[in-house]
């Protein structure tokens, strides 16, 4: 699918408190999923959707992230001397994926605040936001579809996924109505982390957005919301209320594979599922999982 060239913003400045102490000296986006940090999967996804300019919003422990996407000549020379071309290619790959820029968030005042930091870099264009701890399986392209819908309808587009009603309090939640397209809904309203009783649906906002530059003015005036943070969901709710700001807000309903690596249990499951799919690790891991499952009987 061909998509117009847009820039991507990857916020990775959260405190990652659910993962302490692992995230004490390392951003959660650097936690390995099988053998790559989570954020490399996210960059690869952006690149697969046709994006070649990425700005990461980083916080404390920023060096880990920046170093991963940089060259490491000493290590490269050692691998070259040893003739280990497979590992050499894997070491170089992150630095050759895209043009990657880094911006400090300063205080972690919320996801909306992190996105606002990208205003100058993005300028007056539509842009994508990909959360650095939320992985979408490479076999289930979502972002390219969102960019296509945004382009066709001059719309802000968010990604939605059905979740069990008991889980909706963990997400932003959308009040929607159908459109003529099976995987696209019109978003009438949004509420951040509602209780199951208050939730207008079981459609949760997941970590992919295609935003129009009109959102920046809204973010500038968005007051801290749930958790005392400047919430991207609150700014999107204002856009959904008033189409004149940045066009309609549409949701692409995703039914593919998603891995939430910011949550400990989902992180462990993600590692198992992705390793099972790997040719080098899958067969041995499958035998181990089968044996383990048998031992519970």
Count how many Cα atoms sit within 13 Å of the Cα of residue 162 in the half-sphere of its side chain: 4
CA 101 – CA 67 distance, rounded (Å): 12
In whole angstroms, the minimum distance from the beta carbon of 12 to ligand UTP comes to 5
In whole angstroms, the minimum distance from the beta carbon of 151 to ligand UTP comes to 25
Q: State which residue, 34 or 109, has the beta carbon closest to ligand UTP.
A: 109
State the residue number with the nearest CB to ligand UTP.
Answer: 14
Q: State which residue, 94 or 172, has the beta carbon closest to ligand UTP.
A: 172
CA 159 – CA 207 distance, rounded (Å): 7
Sequence-ordered list of residues with C-beta below 8 angstroms from that of 77, at least 6 positions apart, any chain: none
Closest alpha carbon to 158 in 123, 122, 134, 180: 134
CA 102 – CA 129 distance, rounded (Å): 14
Q: State which residue, 112 or 184, has the beta carbon closest to ligand UTP.
A: 112
Q: How far is CA 49 from the centre of its chain?
A: 13
Look at strands 32-33 and 36-37 and give their pairing: antiparallel
In whole angstroms, the minimum distance from the beta carbon of 262 to ligand UTP comes to 5
Q: How many helices, marked H, and strands, marked E, lie in the chain?
A: 12, 13
CA 170 – CA 279 distance, rounded (Å): 34
In whole angstroms, the minimum distance from the beta carbon of 206 to ligand UTP comes to 11
Q: State which residue, 28 or 212, has the beta carbon closest to ligand UTP.
A: 28
Q: State which residue, 19 or 254, has the beta carbon closest to ligand UTP.
A: 19
Burial of 147: CB neighbours in 10 Å, binned 0-12, 13-18, 19+: buried
- Positions that interact with ligand UTP (CB under 6 A): 11-19, 57, 105, 108-111, 113-114, 131-133, 262
In whole angstroms, the minimum distance from the beta carbon of 18 to ligand UTP comes to 3
In whole angstroms, the minimum distance from the beta carbon of 171 to ligand UTP comes to 10
Q: State which residue, 18 or 119, has the beta carbon closest to ligand UTP.
A: 18
């Amino acid at each position: 699918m061909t998509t117009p060239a847009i820039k991507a913003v990857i916020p990775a400045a959260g405190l990652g408190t659910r993962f302490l102490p692992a995230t004490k000296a390392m951003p959660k986006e650097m936690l390995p999923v099988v053998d790559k940090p989570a954020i490399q999967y996210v960059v690869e996804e952006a690149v697969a959707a046709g994006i070649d300019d990425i700005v990461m919003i980083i916080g404390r422990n920023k060096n880990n992230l920046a170093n991963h996407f940089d060259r490491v000549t000493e290590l490269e020379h050692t691998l070259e001397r040893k003739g280990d071309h497979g590992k050499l290619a894997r070491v170089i790959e992150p630095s050759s994926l895209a043009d990657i820029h880094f911006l400090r968030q300063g205080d972690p005042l919320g996801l909306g605040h992190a996105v606002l930091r990208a205003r100058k870099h993005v300028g007056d264009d539509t842009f994508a936001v990909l959360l650095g701890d939320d992985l979408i399986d490479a076999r289930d392209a979502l972002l390219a579809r969102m960019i296509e819908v945004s382009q066709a309808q001059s719309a802000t587009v968010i990604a939605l996924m059905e979740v069990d009603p008991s889980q909706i309090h963990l997400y932003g939640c959308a009040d929607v109505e159908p459109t003529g397209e099976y995987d696209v809904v019109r978003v009438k309203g949004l509420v951040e982390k509602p209780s199951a009783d208050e939730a207008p649906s079981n459609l949760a906002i997941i970590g992919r957005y295609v935003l129009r530059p009109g959102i920046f003015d809204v973010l500038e005036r968005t007051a801290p919301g749930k958790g005392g943070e400047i919430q991207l969901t609150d700014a999107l709710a204002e856009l959904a209320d008033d189409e004149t700001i940045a066009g309609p807000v549409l949701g692409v309903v995703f039914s593919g594979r998603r891995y939430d690596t910011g949550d400990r249990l989902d992180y462990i499951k993600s590692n198992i599922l992705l390793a099972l799919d790997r040719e080098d690790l899958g067969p041995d891991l499958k035998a181990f999982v089968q044996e383990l499952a048998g031992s519970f009987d």
